Structure 1
Amino acid sequence: MTNARPSTPPPSNEPVRAYAPGSDARAALQQRLRELRGQRVDVPAIIGGEAVFTGATTEMVVPHEHSHVLGEFHHAGADEVAQAIDAAQAAKGEWAAMDFADRAAIFLRAADLLAGPWRDTLNAATMLGQSKNAHQAEIDAACELIDFFRFNVHYAEQLYAEQPNSPGAAWNQMQYRPLEGFVLAVTPFNFTSIQGNLPTAPALMGNTVLWKPSERATYAAYFLYKLLEEAGLPDGVINFLPAENGADVGDPALASEHFAGLHFTGSAGTFNHLWSSIGERLPTYRTYPTIVGETGGKDFIVAHASADVDAVATAIVRGSFEYQGQKCSASSRLYMPASIWPEIRAEVAAQLDTITTGPPEDFTNFVNAVIDQRAFDEITAYIDAAAASDDAEIIMGGAYDDSDGYFIEPTVIQAHDPHYATMEEEIFGPVTTVYVYPDDDFAGTLDLVDETSPYALTGAIFARDRAVIRQAMDRLEQAAGNFYINDKPTGAVVGQQPFGGARRSGTNDKAGSWLNLVRWVSPRAIKETFTPATHYSYPWNAPDAA
């Protein structure tokens, strides 16, 4: 036993590796890609530290080469969820009672393992299983996840240190208890870092977790679980429950009296369903559950006539087409002034002419495959509709091919109607739509931006005129939880831009900040009086002097 109160190391953002030609980092990553390609992984559910092979499996394939099978994962169902709840409840007491320094050490060790010997594995798994290029995998599966681990420890320490005032002969304390029950973490396919943060942030605060990884990214999620295992995470703290159908895990988990919280990233429709299901079951639960969710966005770039043309064009290309537009922050609606749109259009076209699409193992490919056939079909349906529409036209790209992989060319649609479908509906692919507005209707265009979409996740304004920037910031105050000035609306960095949006984009609990961590505790105020009263009476209650 120690009576020390150690301070955790101050965090800093993990440096991004460049993977330049001829570098040792590039050679090591390419070698790991070859090794993983040559293996076939049998992924079980992991409950209380034990592998569970159910026999019902789904193949995990490479999106950019769908004939190549990386392995299969075993489906969890109601029986496995019941076992996981028992395991989470059994692990809860010891985990919650563990000194914060010891819990923190596990996640700090996970960060260092990921920064070192596990980096190539997580990056390569993300490249193969989710078709991310080396840079997109590096900033996600390595840097952002390392940052989540380190900064969450830092923010948790600050939260625990936040204590009430204690005047007089009393000592006031605030205990930050974990929730009374388990947390269900439901994670998306597009970011390995989010798959890591959603179960580990509640766990850091003393909670035990049931983790349902995306069926479209279970491959990288499995390696991530094994990383946490090597870091020393005790059995039963996080229980790994892959499934082809989310309801197979979600329904029995939400039916348990011990359900205490939902940490979710995914579609608005799924989140609405989960929230409704929780509401219907409120009498079942021992406590009102915590609900934290981030859904999606219809994110915008607005340019003013004073904007820098090259900066706007580059933001469009990077913000719309990095990771094939499969980011909830991707810029998928553009509002461009008529006076400079021809120059912006020419520069966007010039940049897109140099972009190649293909497998991420070829590092020269900037754009890779979309995640699967379902996504391919949904995205290309929008392209086909635009090609046939009188209200829109395809002005760049538009080609696609799924014969070997799910490849879609970066596509720009020009809408003649600002309420055309692709200006309003989330597509989640390499498709963006531009509406060209008259220069003298900038104020009206800001109204249009604010009122067009039910989402409010990210957005950007480009202008040199400071008064215009202020005008846009004020008018679009509620339109984006992450707002960018003269920068693309993607690429939030932990510790710099806490991420999340409101309206139909989620509960805006800001992953990568203390605002998220505080949702995973149930505070208890404690007052200890050193010299307690010994009689009920007060001075005011005494009779007046004769």
Structure 2
Amino acid sequence: MSLLLPPLALRRVLLARPWRGAGLQWKHTHPLQVANEPILAFTRGSPERDAVQKALSALKSQTEAIPCVVGDEEVWTSDVQYQLSPFNHRHKVAKFCYADKTLLNKAIEASLAARKEWDLKPVSDRAQIFLKAADILSGPRRAEILAKTIVGQGKTVIQAEIDAVAELTDFFRFNAKFALELEGEQPISLPPSTNSVIYRGMEGFVAAISPFNFTAIGGNLAGAPALMGNVVLWKPSDTAMLASYAVYRVLREAGLPPNIIQFVPADGPMFGDTVTSSEHLCGINFTGSVPTFKRLWKQVALNIDRYRTFPRLAGECGGKNFHFVHSSADVDSVVSGTLRSAFEYAGQKCSACSRLYVPASLWPQIKGRLLEEHSRIKVGNPAEDFGTFFSAVIDAKEIFGPVLTVYVYPDDKYKETLRLVDGTTSFGLTGAVFAQDKKVIQEATEMLRHAAGNFYINDKSTGSVVGQQPFGGSRASGTNDKPGGPHYVLRWTSPQVIKETHQPLGDWRYAYMQ
């Protein structure tokens, strides 16, 4: 009878020294316990408000120089760019440069040289880095990361708090928890054999391509694959450079070794061409537009014969999200939820409501209330006026902003309208149903089963929380890998199953052959 022991990496986790930090407790053999980072209120006179106002004052009229970083080397190329504050175009918040093809290939080579040692490091050691980074972000760097998100991406203080602090620290902490728990997921062992799974990083490098609208997304797109033993080339958005670089510096401060995540701003098409032409590409972690993700996917398909492994493609591409209102709905909930969903952060959330379906019997009341409340929305500079609800949009060329369309339907045609909701767009990201009638809620849930990856009942279509509502959609909205949930980290591993037999095979012949 053999003694069945957990794999070595798991034993290291179980025997690790007690580790404690904000929002988590991990001691001896108990699972790592994490909680969602509390969202501060920033009321007048509060210490958090004073701290962020001081940080904003320090950034005023300042331009931060942001290099490409390959390993420990800061590199400047001749292709210099600037990030402008969206609500004050006279303020260049960052000066940065694009990596050229030569530098990107150097970054790939440096990453590959570091990959094996990083992959062999116990997941508990890698997790410690991200747990420490979360504590730095939520503690000493909180005001800085908030201020840089406000001035660089035009967020109000509470939207920056929800994004750059709460969600990002949640990603780092919950991903660490999920990674450690994944190590504990082991197959059945029966005498005379012991079976185990090693959750390896993938062979090659992952390209992380992040958007402007969430600081947290950039940190997660690069961070989650790195946590799982991969090396990453991170191309942040030009219009989120200031906050993205701050996140990168926090990771390095927390102990992330050089060459695990390369910070390489670059021209989008050139970056895509370079990484997809490398035989060592093993994954793309992307958030952005449908045309860009399709272009990357096509490039991977065209280069499929040159890769050493089939690349993993994970993408989130937004949506045209809906609020469906039934005649039994609570009007106050509809009005408040729709205003926040459609117009908070100027509608620049992938989950923002852009389609409102209202029964004719409620439309006069809802219309009046929407117009009345909409007129109270304050547009302004969120860095100077904390009463601002609505700031500048980032890109004047795209309809990714505060545009809400309304479809008024006859009350008795709600089933036909639900079919219309399902078939109107090619997207399937988020959606909400407002109704008090339980039968209608059940019907809507069934009829809209594939219309949204995140489905809300009597709540707005925005505001998913890490660990509570893992986020993502299918159809044209992406690959629905659900970052913020326990299965997301598995996406960035290449598991190996190991069978060890403790009793030699004595005879190759089966019993029936005797």
TM range (shorter): over 0.9
Aligned to 1:539: 511
1:32 to 55, 76, 85: 55
For 2:15 and 2:311, locate their aligned partners in 1 and report how far apart those are by CA, in whole Å. Answer: 32
For 2:425 and 2:487, locate their aligned partners in 1 and report how far apart those are by CA, in whole Å. Answer: 25
Write out per-residue CA displacement over residues 406-431 of structure 1, whole angstroms, 9 at most, x where no aligned residue: xxxxxxxxxxxxxxxxxxxxx31011
For 2:397 and 2:300, locate their aligned partners in 1 and report how far apart those are by CA, in whole Å. Answer: 32
Q: Establish whether residue 295 from structure 1 lines up as the match of residue 317 from structure 2.
A: yes
For 1:71 and 1:444, locate their aligned partners in 2 and report how far apart those are by CA, in whole Å. Answer: 51
Aligned to 1:486: 458
Structure 1 residue 5: Cα displacement: 3.1
- The within-5 A match list for 1:228-377 is 228-243=251-266, 245-361=267-383, 362-371=385-394, 375-377=395-397
Q: Establish whether residue 158 from structure 1 lines up as the match of residue 181 from structure 2.
A: yes
Q: Give the unaligned 5+ runs of structure 2.
A: 1-7, 17-25
Structure 1 residue 55: Cα displacement: 2.5
Write out per-residue CA displacement over residues 237-270 of structure 1, whole angstroms, 9 at most, x where no aligned residue: 0000112x21222211111111000000000010
For 1:58 and 1:132, locate their aligned partners in 2 and report how far apart those are by CA, in whole Å. Answer: 22
2:108 to 85, 100, 103: 85
For 1:38 and 1:115, locate their aligned partners in 2 and report how far apart those are by CA, in whole Å. Answer: 26
Letter in 2 for 1:215: D
For 2:114 and 2:103, locate their aligned partners in 1 and report how far apart those are by CA, in whole Å. Answer: 16
For 1:516 and 1:164, locate their aligned partners in 2 and report how far apart those are by CA, in whole Å. Answer: 20
Structure 1 residue 537: Cα displacement: 1.5
- The within-5 A match list for 1:51-450 is 51-243=74-266, 245-361=267-383, 362-371=385-394, 375-378=395-398, 427-450=399-422
- The within-5 A match list for 1:470-481 is 470-481=442-453
Aligned to 1:528: 500
For 2:61 and 2:246, locate their aligned partners in 1 and report how far apart those are by CA, in whole Å. Answer: 16
Structure 1 residue 538: Cα displacement: 1.8
Contact 2:115 2:231 in 1 (8 A): yes
For 2:506 and 2:283, locate their aligned partners in 1 and report how far apart those are by CA, in whole Å. Answer: 43
Contact 2:198 2:496 in 1 (8 A): yes
Aligned to 1:386: none
Letter in 1 for 2:204: G
Q: After the TM superposition, which of the residue ranges 262-271 and 41-50 deviates more from structure 2? A: 41-50
For residue 488 of structure 2, give the secondary structure of its aligned residue in structure 1.
Answer: helix
Letter in 2 for 1:30: Q
Contact 1:175 1:524 in 2 (8 A): yes
For 2:15 and 2:199, locate their aligned partners in 1 and report how far apart those are by CA, in whole Å. Answer: 17
Structure 1 residue 38: Cα displacement: 4.1
For 2:248 and 2:78, locate their aligned partners in 1 and report how far apart those are by CA, in whole Å. Answer: 20
Q: Establish whether residue 465 from structure 1 lines up as the match of residue 475 from structure 2.
A: no
Write out per-residue CA displacement over residues 186-212 of structure 1, whole angstroms, 9 at most, x where no aligned residue: 000000000110000000000000001
For 2:15 and 2:441, locate their aligned partners in 1 and report how far apart those are by CA, in whole Å. Answer: 46
The normalised TM-score by structure 1 is 0.88
Letter in 1 for 2:15: R
What's the Cα RMSD here? 1.2
Q: After the TM superposition, which of the residue ranges 527-536 and 296-305 deviates more from structure 2? A: 527-536
Letter in 1 for 2:455: F
For 1:250 and 1:87, locate their aligned partners in 2 and report how far apart those are by CA, in whole Å. Answer: 18
Contact 2:335 2:366 in 1 (8 A): yes
Contact 2:62 2:92 in 1 (8 A): no
Structure 1 residue 348: Cα displacement: 1.1
Aligned to 1:498: 470
Aligned to 1:5: 15
Letter in 2 for 1:85: I
Letter in 2 for 1:529: T
2:68 to 14, 27, 45: 45
Aligned to 1:382: none
Write out per-residue CA displacement over residues 311-354 of structure 1, whole angstroms, 9 at most, x where no aligned residue: 10111100000000001100001100000111111111121121
For 2:511 and 2:156, locate their aligned partners in 1 and report how far apart those are by CA, in whole Å. Answer: 75
Letter in 2 for 1:166: S
The aligned length equals 490
Contact 1:49 1:239 in 2 (8 A): no
For residue 94 of structure 1, give the secondary structure of its aligned residue in structure 2.
Answer: helix
Write out per-residue CA displacement over residues 480-505 of structure 1, whole angstroms, 9 at most, x where no aligned residue: 00000000000000000000000000
The normalised TM-score by structure 2 is 0.94
Structure 1 residue 39: Cα displacement: 2.5
Contact 2:61 2:91 in 1 (8 A): no
Contact 1:241 1:249 in 2 (8 A): no
Letter in 1 for 2:130: F
Structure 1 residue 40: Cα displacement: 1.7
For 1:72 and 1:491, locate their aligned partners in 2 and report how far apart those are by CA, in whole Å. Answer: 32
Structure 1 residue 9: Cα displacement: 3.2
Contact 1:309 1:344 in 2 (8 A): yes
Contact 2:34 2:174 in 1 (8 A): yes
For 1:40 and 1:453, locate their aligned partners in 2 and report how far apart those are by CA, in whole Å. Answer: 41
Letter in 2 for 1:473: T
For 2:397 and 2:488, locate their aligned partners in 1 and report how far apart those are by CA, in whole Å. Answer: 35
For 1:247 and 1:289, locate their aligned partners in 2 and report how far apart those are by CA, in whole Å. Answer: 18
- Share of identical aligned residues, percent? 49
Structure 1 residue 71: Cα displacement: 2.5
Structure 1 residue 377: Cα displacement: 3.9
Write out per-residue CA displacement over residues 30-82 of structure 1, whole angstroms, 9 at most, x where no aligned residue: 01011022422111100012111112111111100111111311111201111
Letter in 2 for 1:363: F
For 1:334 and 1:96, locate their aligned partners in 2 and report how far apart those are by CA, in whole Å. Answer: 47
Q: After the TM superposition, which of the residue ranges 113-122 and 93-102 deviates more from structure 2? A: 93-102
